[in-house]
Amino acid sequence: MIEKIKEITYNTLEDYLFRLSELKDVRIAFSSSLSWEDQVITHAIFSQDLPIRVFTLDTGRLFPETYSVLEATRQHYQKSLEVYFPQHAAVEELVTKKGPVSFYESVENRKECCFIRKVEPLNRALENVDIWITGLRAEHSENRQELTLVEEDTGRGIVKVNPLVHWSLEEVKAYVKKHHIPGNVLQDRGFVSLGCQPCTRAIRKGELFRSGRWWWEDNSKKECGLHG
């Protein structure tokens, strides 16, 4: 299947997603963090009424502004995004044993929290999915410089497609503006990489894109397990 996907020719994002959705007997899902990038892809899917599931992860620690974008998106397109929550028993056990901010204490603790609140719900959302669409861009971080449009997620046994892999931030913002897409006001305030409220801050002038995520950690460790 991956070779068939790689053979798709297209001119625009909308064209690519349309052709992707035409593949026979293929189940496709898109995971949205409600960031500018993901709102671009959501628009391309919803505006064409494509048979692609759109879902988001509610970790229980999101910014109020992110919930506002979720509702604005529902109203704007008159369509629903599937929402996945973490397993309540796992969250209860974590907070009971280690407290509400254990992620500040070590990388291991932070990854444990990320797994419970993000990775496990994502794995459930991707059950029985053949193609997983993401809003990843190569310029997000050094770890993502080698991203390609189509790649294998060997851990989950599915194909991952990154249609914005070569887009610049300027191109993303221009698309959002052109199509009047609901966006998160936090990103206008420097919160360029959206995540959980306790783990995200605005970046300063000259800082890397991912500097605002888990800012107390070494830059080389800034992934949560969603993308390997």
Positions marked active-site: 224
Q: CA 40 to CA 134: how far, in whole Å? A: 11
Q: CA 63 to CA 201: how far, in whole Å? A: 11
State how far Cα 22 lies from the chain centre.
23
Which residues on adjacent β-strands are paired with residue 84? 57
Q: What is the DSSP letter of 114?
A: H
Pair 31, 132: CB distance under 8 Å: yes
What b/e string do you get for 94-111 counting C-beta neighbours within 10 Å, with b at 16 or more? beeeeeeebbeeeeebbb
Q: What is the DSSP letter of 211?
A: G
